[in-house]
Chains A and B, each alone.
Chain A
Amino acid sequence: MSSAQIEIQIIASLVAIACAIPGTFLVLRKMAMISDAISHSILPGIVIGFFITHDLSSPLLILLATVTGVITVVLVEYIQKTGLVKEDTAIGLVFPVLFSLGVIMIARNADDVHLDVDAVLLGELAFAPFDRLVVSGVDLGPKSMWIIGVILLVTLVLLYVFFKELKLSTFDKGLAASLGFSPVIIHYGLMTVSSVTTVGAFDAVGAILVVALMIAPAAAAYLLTKDLKKMLILSVLFGVFSAIVGYWFAHWIDASIAGSITTVLGLLFLAVYLFAPSKGVIAVLYREKQQRTEVSLLTFLLHLKNHDEVSERHVNHLNEHINWQKVRSKTVLDLALKNNMIAIDNQIVSLTPKGEEFTSLAIDYIITNEDAQIEDMKADFFLFRG
């Protein structure tokens, strides 16, 4: 590994961590699309800053772009407050307009501005190590590493200091407000941090990757845990993992590093989305199927309890009367047998004492409208689940 390669990976990892932290809160606060809006609408700020300073990593440019990001949030909220359109429409209206202004400004001054819209949106991580920070002749490393490092440091300090406030206002706005934490300040603080991170990172990795690095690791982590601290740690790990794997993948097929990191993030999310232990799609589908069978079982047991006549308790009756298909009635019968709920004697089904007890309890819960209790009861009675 050359030193440039190491530096690129360090920058990518720093960006991933810096994005994952505000991203987690954005996802939890249902404001993920705001990060997309900010990432687009900082363009005019960047362009104006570039007109003045002619340097993509100057502090003034970062400041201007951050201000544009915050203006976006304010504008979106103002439009929402008028009640003329819904929240999502407000977001969708504001950022394309600001982005268009930026594109037009670039196009009008194409001769004296060497700024490419592609570069802003996509960035080029491979060039990051060439822009060095040199202080009085000493080479301190790539500029973007310092920028994103400082942003990350500030984010970490803010996270540590305001963790309690952030957590509270994310999960219970009303309580936070009544305890005296201003939700407005926390909201705008978070928005400002998101803007600064987006701006600081776009130079290295581009605005779109910033959005991906904010949302995808947090979303994947959210599928795996309900604990805020664990979610933060997981999303940081996912971000760094994707950054490093993505870099080597890009190196291998010789394509955009930002695109490659996003692709790895996408695959990672897909894997979590499918295979997460309790929230993943496969687990959810399996649980839905299990629940369907168990509901059928309960219906069947109730039917048995209601009928003493032999004709109503014959195995074939399941197919005819309750109108179940053969396969399904067999599944239900097997499950009931395995759990010792029923006994089959000469094709006639009857409830065992255990089955009786289960069914009576279930009826009680259904009558008193506490259906949810049945779920807990299942754990006590079932040896095998559906």
Chain B
Amino acid sequence: MFSDYTLRTITLGTAILGAVTGMLGSFAVLRKQSLLGDAISHAALPGIAIAFLLTGAKDSNTLLFGALISGLIGTFWIRGIITKTHLKSDTALGLILSLFFGFGMLLLTFIQKQPNANQAGLDKYLFGQAATLVESDVWMMAIVTGICLCVLLLFWKEFKILLFDKDYAKTLGFNTKTIDILITSFIVLAIVLGLQTVGVVLMSAMLLAPAAAARQWTNSLAKMVFLAALFGAFSGVFGTAISASKNNIPTGPVIVIIAAVFVFVSFVFSPSRGLLFKQIRFIKNRRDLQLHKTLAFMYGIAETHANISHPHEIKILNNFQGFTKSSLNKLVEKNYVTLEGSTWSLTQEGFDSAANLYNQNTKQNE
């Protein structure tokens, strides 16, 4: 259904798009501006419609320029609402998102009713159509990505310090406002770039998902940006491949689903933050605690006897909560306890370790 060449163009386009949105998305996520992407992508819609109304052009560069302008207006209005009134950021985002989008829809329906207009192509910006990517679009993306990369490398230090300690950056004499505007503008640029491919509605996921996935694997900003770009690019490639191999599957949603799979896998399997390993660590800690409780209980009994290794019935452990068969076996493994028939006795090693445990506990309690 696709000729090889078209497919290659589209795949390259979505891969580049995924990389650049992942890269800049990292900053959005870390700056707690995750939903800004959603608001901006919706706010870009009237820009597309106005650009079309003014120029009558249908080439994507003109329309995307309009989108960029209205996206920026939306962004700065959001900032104005947050800083100048007592409305909170969520209200500001929701307002701009819905109001701009509604206005955009009004313009789109208005354009559709125009008798002479050749308006058929505008709908694609709503949900995106990767299939409409042509070579010049991909070049455009590549150039913008290149610029983004250069700016990112050039201002890396400034971006990083703004991200993690804004006040410190200010005291060092950096112009935080300019840096802030610079990075926000690039986020807007990345979003606008993706409108044609994945559309207004799903663009925010392209921005967030790779970054949220990358965040789980590392605590270093450089690694996170790199990983996010990688995840984004892979989502683009896999998404395009899947939607090309089957009939009737739109590309944008598939890319979003693939990116979500990356997020899911990262959430569950990341070694340091992932849910799976967190649960394993939790269970291990609980076992250790039980072990210590049992040992402390045994110590309490052994203390009252002249011979610390005097055997006791296992049964007496039963009405004590921390006791399980496996925890007893573990104590045996550690050479703290010896079992003989239905009795247990503390070894010297176990007694010492328990005494130590007890000391530590009392010390901490004091």
Report which A residues bind B (CB closer than 8 A).
27, 30-33, 35-36, 40, 79, 82, 84-86, 88-89, 91-93, 96-97, 99-101, 103-104, 107-108, 110, 117-118, 121-122, 208-209, 211-212, 214-216, 218-219, 222-223, 250, 253-256, 258-263, 265-266, 269, 273, 279-281, 284-285
Contacts and interface: CB of A to CB of B under 8 A. Distances in A.
A108 B250 CA distance: 9
Closest 3 CB pairs of A and B: A262-B102, A259-B106, A96-B205
A262 B101 contact: yes
Interface string B87-103: 11011011101111111
Given A108-B248, A211-B97, A33 B35 contact: yes
B84 A103 contact: no
A219 B126 contact: no
9 contacts: A33-B35, A35-B94, A36-B97, A101-B257, A212-B95, A219-B87, A269-B99, A279-B85, A281-B85
Contact of B273 (A84, A104, A117, A266): A84
A88 B113 contact: no
Interface string B65-97: 000000000000000110011111011011101
Contacts of A91: 34-35
B85 A110 contact: no
Q: Name the residue among A32, A92, A107 with the largest chain B CB count within 10 angstroms.
A: A92
A93 B260 CA distance: 8
A107 B248 contact: yes
A52 B101 CA distance: 31
A266 B96 CA distance: 8
Contacts of B205: 92-93, 96-97, 100
Contacts of A214: 94
A211 B94 contact: yes
Nearest to A86: B32
A78 B50 CA distance: 41
A34 to B, nearest CB: 8
A215 B267 CA distance: 32
A30 B249 CA distance: 36
A32 B102 contact: no
Given A82-B275, A85-B212, A103-B252, 6 more contacts: A33-B90, A88-B34, A96-B260, A218-B91, A266-B102, A285-B84
Contacts of B91: 27, 30, 32, 215, 218-219, 222
Nearest to B275: A82
Given A84-B273, A88-B32, A122-B105, A100 B256 contact: yes
A254 B114 CA distance: 10
A42 to B, nearest CB: 13
B254 A209 contact: no
Contact of B215 (A85, A88, A122, A255): A85
B197 to A, nearest CB: 14
Given A86-B34, A256-B105, A100 B257 contact: yes
Given A215-B94, A284-B84, A208 B105 contact: yes
B47 interface: no
A30 B254 CA distance: 31
A253 B32 CA distance: 40
Contacts of A101: 253, 257
Interface string B193-210: 000000001101101110
B98 A209 contact: yes
B102 A261 contact: yes
Q: Name the residue among B85, B107, B113 with the largest chain A CB count within 10 angstroms.
A: B85
B109 interface: yes
B217 to A, nearest CB: 11
B90 A223 contact: no
A216 B38 CA distance: 17
A369 B90 CA distance: 34
B102 A89 contact: no
B331 interface: no
B232 interface: no
Nearest to B35: A88
B110 interface: yes
Given A33-B35, A215-B95, A255-B110, A107 B101 contact: no
Given A40-B201, A89-B208, A215-B95, A259 B37 contact: no
B216 interface: yes
B249 A104 contact: yes
A84 to B, nearest CB: 6
Interface string B224-252: 00000000000000000000000011101
B250 A281 contact: no
Contacts of A255: 106-107, 109-110, 113
A118 to B, nearest CB: 7
A97 B254 CA distance: 9
A32 B81 CA distance: 14
Given A89-B208, A107-B249, A223-B87, A273 B109 contact: no
Q: Name the residue among B29, B106, B201, B256 with the largest chain A CB count within 10 angstroms.
A: B106
A211 to B, nearest CB: 4
B187 interface: no
Contact of B99 (A35, A86, A103, A266): A266
Nearest to B105: A259
A31 B248 contact: no
Nearest to A108: B248
A92 B34 contact: yes
Nearest to A43: B201
A265 B99 CA distance: 7
B171 to A, nearest CB: 22
Contacts of A82: 267, 275
